[in-house]
Chain A
Amino acid sequence: MNRQTEDRLRAAFDAKAEQVTDERLARLTAERRQLLIEDVDGSENFPAIPGFTDHQPARPGAAVTRLDIDHPAGSPRHARWLAPVLAAAAVLAVAVGVTAISTSVDNGKRTPLPPASQVSTPAPSLSPTPSSTPSGQPTSNGRPTGATSPAQAVLLGNGKQADRSQIPWDRVGPGWHLASAAPGGAGKVAVYLINPIGGRYLITDQLPHAKDSVGAWSPDGKRAMLSRDEDEDRILTELELATGRVLHTFAIGKRGFQGYTRPNGQAILVVRSADAVLERLGADGSHQLTYPGTLPGFGKIGFPSLYNATGAELLVGGEHGIALLGNDGHLIRVLPAPAGAKTCWPAKWWDSSTVLETCNFSDGVQYTLFLQPVAGGQPVKLAGASTTHPLGFANAWRYSEGILLSGGAGCGPGRLEILRDGVIRPLRLPAGVQDSPPVIGVAGDVLTMRQLGGCPASDKESVVSMNLVTGATTTVFQGTARLIPYPWQ
């Protein structure tokens, strides 16, 4: 190519782009605000971002229904309708607090980690015939207190739907999914448990807000936390799965929801949007702890974070590697980033003593996966960027015959590959299964993935499970839904 033309092109692009400044954008926003017509439909949600929300039309008279969790109930800042919710939350907070004191964790007490054999779980079957004894099902999870198992624990067939009273709680475990979908009708969201062969159990379809979607499944398998945005707040709603009952509804302000704590989900983690600081809240929204934003010798903490199985320790990412913290936020050790990495984060527990670490080696997308012993020592490279895989790999899952790798990408080509015997090959997907699908999870040999039908979104979505060994596929859910895999144990 002609170097002169390239230089001229770069210079012209730079000159035009530099005309766009923050000041000019602010002036444009101010000019537009003068011209905006009030939006009479107040149901749209926009993220609460300084400057961004300035773009929205003003809605004179719109009531502010913000709950600031640092202010006591009864403050004039609260809307009247929140008073009974707060009263109920206060009663539940006392009950939860008593329960929390008597449990071993979620408050940082150390207990030995489970052996590696309990971290990886065997494959659930895709056969519609229920087995007489559940294989690999944790015995203490997924069975809510006081729930009555149906007399015949038959696995509901693909595409069939039943009431929550029919859930075979003894069989709920890896391979199951928690889902939220808007099946139709104004303002209604439905929450389901979906079994490995695509039969679904309706938890509730009485939630009043169409924007609620499942955010996390509690580690004890008993509850779901749903999330929605309302005005400038993120609203969380906790649901008891056995009964469909709403346990808590509370606002967390301008915070991102990170998930439940371990091992039982007695608390939750959130991230403050303003300064990206991690906080721990009770499952009722009460503030428990603010983690340090930076650590000496490590720098600013990044996300996601990852608890260990007991909840006593927490892994966080950052520019210099990953750090192991105590549940109370004290630094245990820094696990330095491999040379050349720009940022790293903990992707998942590989086994009880090793974490799968993802590191980005460019300012764009160039991921490499490492296995990092949590006790310290050099990380071992699992898979990374190459001429054939220039974006690298962002995540990995073990199954019986190898390791499934997910390419680093946002929306677009991000193929699934198999690492076996040191060689990386594309995963052969059956006809009709979309190339480079987002992975929801892998349980044993079964991959569950989203079929998008378009990028970034499409109304032709579905969720498909595929046995990585046999290639057998099952449509788990037809339509647009958010799915959460059963929590790892």
Chain B
Amino acid sequence: MTQSLTIDIAGLYAAHRLQLVRMAVLLVDDIGSAEDVVHDAFTTLHQNQDRVREPAAALGYLRTIVINNARSVLRKRQTARRHLSLARLEEAAPADSELMLAAAHQEVLAAVRQLPARQREVLTLRYWANLSEAEIAQALGISRGAVKSNASRGMDKLETMLGDAR
């Protein structure tokens, strides 16, 4: 019999959509963009099912697409800001939802937004998604060494910005 040809997208959606939107919101800040990013990822998975090696690898595939899509969102935002001639290119304040968070959390998230996209991605996957170095490398398409160096540099910058004691 031929290998299974279809992935249980409905099951994946039911089981993982919320977590993927949560991961995306840590990358793109606002929930609307995060939901779009994840929705597009499921659409892409559906259209490219035959490119996933094994059905059980579909979650890793989805995660990679979400990260790629999030990166596109951030790039478009930066382009839009340049066209609007804003003085600062770093991430502007997010939607008002963050104002509901404790001040301490707002400070940390504001610092994370100052990081380069790759460092932010690595820290999100490590400290929120709890992925291993190998899984982060696979999701981002980089080496494990690059994961380590991005994590280290990102944390060093955060420590400096937050003034945390060493």
Contact = CB atoms under 8 A, between A and B. Distances in A.
Given A455-B64, A456-B64, A14 B128 contact: yes
A360 B56 contact: yes
A410 B8 contact: no
B85 interface: no
Contacts of B34: 20
B158 interface: yes
Given A1-B152, A364-B131, A52 B39 contact: yes
Interface string B23-62: 1011000011011000100111111101111111111111
A482 B3 CA distance: 14
Contact of A12 (B2, B13, B109, B131): B109
A98 B36 CA distance: 51
B104 A8 contact: yes
Interface string B80-103: 000000000000000001101110
Contacts of B14: 49-50
Contacts of A261: 1
B43 A46 contact: yes
Contact of B108 (A12, A227, A274): A12
Interface in A260-317: 260-262, 271, 273-274, 276, 303-307
Contacts of A318: none
Given A8-B162, A49-B13, A410-B52, A258 B101 contact: no
A80 interface: no
Interface stretch (A66-74, A160-168, A411-419, A425-433): A411-419
Given A9-B112, A19-B97, A391-B134, A410 B57 contact: yes
B25 A20 contact: yes
Contacts of A305: 1, 4
Contacts, number: 242
A5 B3 contact: no
Given A2-B159, A20-B34, A305-B4, A15 B102 contact: yes
A17 B23 contact: yes
Contact of A439 (B53, B62, B124, B139): B53
A412 B6 contact: no
Contacts of A176: none
A212 B153 CA distance: 48
A334 interface: no
A484 B53 contact: no
A20 B9 contact: no
Interface string A54-68: 010000000000000
A10 B128 contact: yes
Given A19-B97, A439-B53, A410 B9 contact: no
A28 B18 CA distance: 13
Interface in A1-36: 1-2, 4-6, 8-22, 24-25, 28-29, 32
Given A276-B11, A394-B54, A409-B138, A260 B26 contact: no
B8 to A, nearest CB: 6
A345 B64 contact: no
A62 B142 CA distance: 45
A9 B158 contact: yes
Contact of B4 (A262, A304, A360): A304
Interface in B117-166: 123-124, 127-128, 131-135, 137-141, 151-152, 155, 158-159, 162, 164-166
Given A28-B32, A276-B11, A456-B48, 12 more contacts: A9-B112, A17-B25, A20-B25, A49-B42, A51-B13, A347-B3, A358-B54, A365-B60, A390-B132, A412-B138, A438-B51, A456-B44
22 contacts: A4-B165, A10-B127, A11-B104, A12-B109, A15-B102, A17-B128, A19-B31, A20-B22, A20-B31, A32-B32, A46-B43, A219-B1, A227-B6, A259-B4, A273-B9, A273-B10, A305-B4, A364-B131, A390-B132, A391-B134, A412-B139, A456-B48
